Chain A
């Protein structure tokens, strides 16, 4: 494709292309909630993350789970305060996670679709402990985009025990897909969509940020299969898809043409890293000939 080589060269600077790992990670036995520092788009900030292991990972763990099968899960709360494990499933009651202890819980039997999990507190939400659970929908490659927005000063304040003052202006400086800012999104095996022309995939998008977002797909329309806060939009064919706070959406992409196509937030303040363009909430569809 035109200038494709130059583009790939640019991307190679940031760690090269991800190949092969199309599906989400497997359901874990254990998740470790950890408080540490994350570096996003040049800003360092405190962050809570659900990690697969006891070692700090700045990326929340999102995973795939079989449909209609409950799953036991142990969650270690490594934060200094108590939390509660939240799941956006009707009837789910948050499960207490006492600081410094491990809690065993059971993820319920879930029908095919995508869900998000996280923490049922302002601290937990602001500091970003949240991931995606994809259930079923495994007949095609299934990618996911966990959307976030971050104001480092607010995170620092909350990490030190503060609260968000009601009405305080929100000025996010970083915008992420799977806890990465562009161009690091190009190195994301679960978010960088790489499939062959003539094939299809699912993409789960969860907005776990503190504001609404909207993504525009270059080169393609997608079919909306699930939209937890826009149920009337199921079945719509869209190139620009909005996501309210807390919304989980699943779309299907049919890759009819080859090439490299951006997908980005069309609230264009969100395609920046600390104000620098391009950055933030940009990823790509890499459709192989």
Chain B
């Protein structure tokens, strides 16, 4: 099973919406895609493009290159989060309608040479080319993917994303600790001048980032409700920290999070250790479990250190919010666009949580499709709930009127 979650923030629980999607990464419109990319049949397929737009915190936009799902029809920065189950044999389908060749390097998955995504040792995917990267996700953990063509440039232009390999029993690794939920957090940066003029950015040795991001967001964008990390009392969250930056990122964990580092680069550490600050170099990943104290509303500060001339270039914040202890206490939340619950779902799913909780949800027509765009449901809901108890496991997209769609998993 491939699981494709579009927005690489908190994957489940409340407020995982696309409400700000249109403000964040409006890129290639589906209408601009080659017809072969629309309505694509199985299997789910990544594509690459080189004419995306990414909005910065100050409202300006920069061109990006990147990856997206063919069925979505647009690219994002970072690319879609890829999640697999430990032990899963994966065929990752990729097509490239963009004018330059690209690849996918599966960073840290120790795939064989043929699937390594390095042009000189593996293969290029040229204009209108298609490829399948095959591997076994044999180690649970946090990994990355990125284009390995003219990597210095293609990476800073935005061609990267995160991969999670998970265990069905919701433990980090065999014999490892259990946790409530994953929180993918991908650090990256870019140099605006390079993105505005990729060709003119040569020579590449003096690319100096001036925009610093977490999951493609910065500054006040990270304060948005769908970007916050939400924790209910008793939650233990797995912060999946990875870096595609050109900077060293130092994360500072408040004591109220009780942060413990358990993994790095997709492997369990010999001894987990309590962590108050953690350096993440380009390409590294760490898994840190946090157990926020009840009601904690604070942030993890992330300093971006210049790798060449030591000094802090910027600081971004991972904001935490406190959830009530049960969904019955949701009444004080504002009605959100594109907020569904729960995710993953095994019996029912409320695709549009209302101000008084999931049972007061959307009253209009709901349309649900799978990732191939095939309609799975159309109609009105009883008490705002969609019965998914007999649905096949997979990822679905629910649309409720004019609200932003929500993406959810069915997992039995």
Residues of chain A having any CB pair with chain B under 8 Å: 1-4, 6-7, 10, 169-173, 211-212, 214, 216, 218-221, 232, 235-240, 242, 257-262, 266-272, 274-278, 280
Total of A-B residue pairs, C-beta within 8 Å? 145
Residues of chain B having any CB pair with chain A under 8 Å: 105, 107-108, 110-114, 116, 118, 120-123, 150-153, 155-156, 202-207, 246, 248, 264-267, 269-270, 273, 279, 281-285, 307-309
The 4 A-B pairs at the shortest CB distance, nearest first, are namely A275-B203, A259-B113, A266-B283, A242-B281
Given contacts A259-B116, A260-B113, 19 further A-B contacts (CB under 8 A): A2-B114, A2-B121, A3-B120, A10-B120, A173-B203, A214-B281, A216-B107, A218-B105, A221-B110, A236-B264, A236-B269, A239-B108, A240-B284, A259-B113, A266-B283, A272-B203, A274-B203, A276-B204, A277-B204
Determine the distance from Cα of A216 to Cα of B270 in the docked complex, in whole angstroms.
Answer: 21
Picked from A171, A239, A266, the residue with its CB within 8 Å of the CB of B206 is: A171
The interface residues of chain A, by DSSP majority, are classed as loop
A272 engages B307 (CB within 8 Å): no
Picked from B121, B206, B282, the residue with its CB within 8 Å of the CB of A260 is: B121
A-B contact list, 30 entries, CB within 8 Å? A3-B121, A3-B122, A10-B120, A173-B203, A212-B307, A214-B284, A219-B111, A221-B108, A235-B269, A236-B265, A239-B107, A240-B108, A240-B281, A240-B284, A257-B112, A257-B113, A259-B113, A259-B114, A261-B113, A262-B121, A266-B282, A267-B282, A268-B156, A269-B204, A271-B151, A272-B152, A272-B204, A275-B204, A275-B206, A278-B151
Determine the distance from Cα of A266 to Cα of B108 in the docked complex, in whole angstroms.
Answer: 12
- The chain B residue sitting closest to A284, CB to CB, is B121
A172 engages B282 (CB within 8 Å): no
A-chain residues with CB within 8 Å of residue B264 when the two chains form the complex: 236, 238
B122 engages A275 (CB within 8 Å): no
Determine the distance from Cα of A235 to Cα of B246 in the docked complex, in whole angstroms.
Answer: 26
Determine the distance from Cα of A239 to Cα of B155 in the docked complex, in whole angstroms.
Answer: 18
Q: A220 → chain B, closest Cβ, in Å?
A: 6
Determine the distance from Cα of A169 to Cα of B246 in the docked complex, in whole angstroms.
Answer: 17
A-chain residues with CB within 8 Å of residue B284 when the two chains form the complex: 214, 238, 240, 242
A261 engages B282 (CB within 8 Å): no
Q: A157 → chain B, closest Cβ, in Å?
A: 17
B-chain residues with CB within 8 Å of residue A1 when the two chains form the complex: 113-114, 121
Q: B211 → chain A, closest Cβ, in Å?
A: 16
A-chain residues with CB within 8 Å of residue B105 when the two chains form the complex: 218
